[in-house]
Amino acid sequence: MNRDNERYEDLEMRRRSRIRRQKRMKRQRRRARILFGLFSAFLALLTGAVLGALSLYMEGRIERRAIDLSALVAPDWITQDFFEVNPYSRPGTKMNRINEIIIHYVANPGTTAKQNWNYFNNLKDQKGDKATSASSHFIIGLDGEILQGIPLDEIAYSTSKEKNLDSVSIENCHPGEEGKFTDDTYASLVKLTSWLCWELDLTEKDVIRHYDATGKDCPRYYVAHEDEWNAFLKDVKAALKELNKNGRPDSQKTGTDNSESENLKSDNSDNSKKSTGQNENAGNLETMKAE
């Protein structure tokens, strides 16, 4: 009888021990499932956040600070002389924001900033079905002078219908067919581009060639020499870093002040006939097509 009792107690102890072990293992599995679920949820949220941010970045939809383009103040080293409002070079269509800066070359070797300004402005006099539409916000001359023909809150006919809606364009004069800029032109381009990046809350990553947008051979030298283009972007980045560090280096004027450009306007009227032949050559401008 005692042996039976002992055997029963032994079996009971084993049963209870097995039950306790099973319960302990069950608790451990439940805890593991909870921890795994929490980790999976955290990982999913993290992955979603990263992918969402990447998607927004790729689509250019990450919100930047709001910028009133009409209120931007131009430095005094920019001569503002706006084209007359017309259907062919300054339609007056407003832009709400600028997402890219697009670099061009005039494709008309040896011409000056003023001659190319004349060409754009004189497009207003066109008639007929074969009219050309072309323009640019800025033109940089062979000596580094910078003319602004269109306010920053208006579109220019410079790249393509889509790109024209949210980009600012910079035309550059050049002495030769290969399209290489003079040192003065290059220095002004770096200065202007970095200032625009600073004012528009952009970086050098938002600066592209006409070629990058449409495949056009423009600006020709910087399409043929990718290393020189990358060096230009590095120079813009360095100049922008200095602006972020030191702020505006020069005095500035309002975005609608044309008082300093009266001499250019009078010269335009005197030289319009003289520059007709050169302006016809300017029809080779890479920015002619606004399609």
Instruction: Say if residue 163 is in the same domain as residue 27.
Output: no
* Containing structural domain, residue 257: 69-284
| Domain count within the chain | 2
The 8-class DSSP code of residue 85 comes to: P
> How far apart (Å, rounded) are the C-alpha atoms in residues 143 and 201?
28
Instruction: Say if residue 154 is in the same domain as residue 233.
Output: yes
Return contacts of 163-167, CB within 8 angstroms, 24+ apart.
163/100, 163/102, 163/213, 163/214, 164/290, 165/95, 166/95, 166/97, 166/98, 166/99, 166/100, 167/98, 167/99, 167/100, 167/101, 167/102
Q: Is residue 120 part of a domain?
A: yes
> How far apart (Å, rounded) are the C-alpha atoms in residues 57 and 144?
34
Instruction: Say if residue 110 is in the same domain as residue 200.
Output: yes
Q: Domain of 188: which CATH number? A: 3.40.80.10
| pLDDT tens by residue, the chain, 291 residues | 666 667 777 777 877 888 888 888 888 888 888 888 888 888 888 888 777 666 655 554 455 678 899 999 999 999 999 999 999 999 999 999 999 999 999 999 999 999 999 999 999 999 888 899 999 999 999 999 999 999 999 999 999 988 999 999 999 999 999 999 999 999 999 999 999 999 999 999 999 999 999 999 999 999 999 999 999 999 999 999 999 888 765 545 433 344 343 444 444 444 433 333 344 445 555 544 443
Instruction: Say if residue 94 is in the same domain as residue 161.
Output: yes
Instruction: Say if residue 157 is in the same domain as residue 15.
Output: no
Q: In terms of DSSP bridges, do strands 79-80 and 146-148 run parallel, antiparallel, or are they unpaired?
A: parallel
Amino acid at 135: S
Q: Is residue 289 part of a domain?
A: no
Reduce the DSSP state of residue 169 to 3 states and report it. strand
From 47, 63, 79, the end of a domain falls on 63
Instruction: Say if residue 26 is in the same domain as residue 132.
Output: no
Instruction: Say if residue 116 is in the same domain as residue 196.
Output: yes
Instruction: Say if residue 97 is in the same domain as residue 216.
Output: yes
Instruction: Say if residue 91 is in the same domain as residue 4.
Output: no
Q: Is residue 254 part of a domain?
A: yes
Neighbours of 183 (CB within 10 A): 8
Instruction: Say if residue 36 is in the same domain as residue 76.
Output: no
Instruction: Say if residue 240 is in the same domain as residue 133.
Output: yes
Q: Is residue 176 part of a domain?
A: yes
Q: Is residue 290 part of a domain?
A: no
Instruction: Say if residue 75 is in the same domain as residue 161.
Output: yes
